[in-house]
Amino acid sequence: MAGRLALLGHSVVVLEQHDRVGKLACCTGIVGRECLETFPVATESVLRGSRSARFFPPSSRPFSLEKETVQAYVLDRPAFDAAMARRSADSGAEYLLGCKVTDVVAAEDRVRVAFQTGGHADELQGRAAVITSGFGSKLPRRLGFGRTADFVMGAQAEVSAPGLDQVEVHFGSHVAPGFFAWLVPTAPGKALAGLLSRSHTGRRLRAFLDSLAGQGRIASAEVNVVYGGIPLRPLPHTSAARIVVVGDAAGQVKPTTGGGIYYGLLCAEIAADVLHRAICSNDLSSQTLREYDRRWHGLLSRELQIGRWSRWLFERLNDRQIDRLFQMVQEPGFREALLTSADFSFDWHSRLVVRGLRRFGLRSVFSMAWLSAFRRDRAR
């Protein structure tokens, strides 16, 4: 986004809190083929491609889904962030490192950004500000954008996994209740192991790592773990006079998987276009910048709404019901229909979810979720 605005002739300054762009983040870095085709800069940081995944239901036998062509790519996330920054800098954007933003104030004719650097307070002024501070930042709430009403914690570690050559996704209350865990090969003998959970995230990951080590799947469970919050619902609004919010800070994340790279990039393009037009017309009012909200909601609202609904359903299923869902997926004819369907997409899940519910019977899936929730409430 910074590079695009700079190419359009605007003076752009990026304030980065860390001393370098691309500090290690709690992100697996998996993106779909469409993301790389739309944003080729990402190819600089590709570690490997994947055309298959192996699924581990709670108690039944694992199975694989495989396509003839690569469907997803594993990125080196720190390298990806650094590559995006280099491209933006080459386009004319200026990066100031080690600058922690402390406040953003929109005035009638400008916006002031206060920040700390090297123990000293400083300030920049401009015509507009873009908040891309990631999830957990206090800035959006302080500026009146509200806060994300729903989120989950993620934990991840780099592990030694000799012989691993396929993405693995693990399910079950013993691993990650309501969510999933993963083991993703990156480089030969290396992988990322992680999970999402609403509670006890670190403890659950340690148990998952111990299990993998006990099976000889990874060399050791004694590894460094990184943590991060993931929004599952967007902010109530993401624009105001002279200010827009983009990416994880705005909650532009898939509720089904927690992935946000592609959606964030798409929304950043929209934000850049809206800001360019607003600056050129010298109208950075809240009404004008509301076009950003309208456009990105028009692109993603169906995906996010159906994603949140399917996430609600899945979190209410018990292990036996999740097993039953995976058994349905493996029924004769359905796996083939799934893999050959035009609805099969790494980044766009809504049509596939609706197709699956029609296949399985909406009433059946909803009844399973309702029954599980009812039983939990009775147990309390």
Each residue of 102-140: pLDDT tens digit?
A: 999 999 899 999 999 998 999 999 999 999 998 988 899
Is there a contact between 296 and 239 (Cβ–Cβ < 8 Å)? Answer: no
Can you read off the two tokens belonging to residue 355? Answer: 């197709």
pLDDT at residue 265, as a whole number: 95
The identity of residue 316, as a single letter, is R
The identity of residue 94, as a single letter, is E
Rounded mean pLDDT of the chain? 89
3-state secondary structure of 39: coil
Cα(300)–Cα(254) distance, integer angstroms: 9
Q: Which residue has the higher pLDDT, 320 or 335?
A: 320
Q: How confident is the model at residue 369 (pLDDT cuts 50, 70, 90)?
A: low
Average pLDDT over residues 245-250: 96
Cα(19)–Cα(135) distance, integer angstroms: 19
Per-residue pLDDT at 379 exceeds 90: no
Per-residue pLDDT at 374 exceeds 90: no
> For residue 305, what are the CA distances in angstroms to 136, 297, 327, 350, 365?
22, 10, 26, 9, 17
DSSP H/E element including 30: strand 30-32
Percent of the chain with pLDDT over 90: 68
Per-residue pLDDT at 362 exceeds 60: no
Is there a contact between 68 and 181 (Cβ–Cβ < 8 Å)? Answer: no
Percent of the chain with pLDDT over 70: 90
pLDDT at residue 355, as a whole number: 66
Q: Strands, DSSP E only, in 76-174?
A: 94-97, 99-106, 111-117, 120-126, 129-131, 151-160, 167-170
Cα(335)–Cα(66) distance, integer angstroms: 10
3-state secondary structure of 85: helix
Average pLDDT over residues 375-379: 53
pLDDT at residue 359, as a whole number: 64
pLDDT at residue 332, as a whole number: 74
Cα-only R_g, the chain: 22
Average pLDDT over residues 190-219: 96
The identity of residue 270, as a single letter, is I
Mean pLDDT is lowest, of 65-74, 148-157, 205-214, for 65-74
pLDDT at residue 348, as a whole number: 76
Q: Say what the alpha-carbon torsion angle 340, 342, 346, 350 is, to the nearest 10 degrees.
A: -120
* Predicted TM-score (pTM) above 0.95: no
Can you read off the two tokens belonging to residue 171? Answer: 């399910």
Q: How confident is the model at residue 375 (pLDDT cuts 50, 70, 90)?
A: low
> For residue 241, what are the CA distances in angstroms to 143, 169, 284, 309?
11, 43, 6, 32
Tokens 């790519």 belong to 73
Per-residue pLDDT at 356 exceeds 90: no
Average pLDDT over residues 355-378: 56
pLDDT at residue 13, as a whole number: 97
At residue 111, φ and ψ (nearest 5 deg) are -125, 135
Per-residue pLDDT at 377 exceeds 60: no
Q: How confident is the model at residue 347 (pLDDT cuts 50, 70, 90)?
A: confident
pLDDT in tens, 53-85: 999 999 878 998 888 888 899 999 999 999 999
Neighbour tally for 43: CB within 10 Å? 13
pLDDT at residue 67, as a whole number: 85
Can you read off the two tokens belonging to residue 153? Answer: 């914690």
Mean pLDDT is lowest, of 85-89, 133-137, 224-228, for 133-137
Can you read off the two tokens belonging to residue 132? Answer: 């891309």
Q: Round to the nearest angstrom and report the end-to-end CA distance of the chain.
A: 49
DSSP state of 338: H
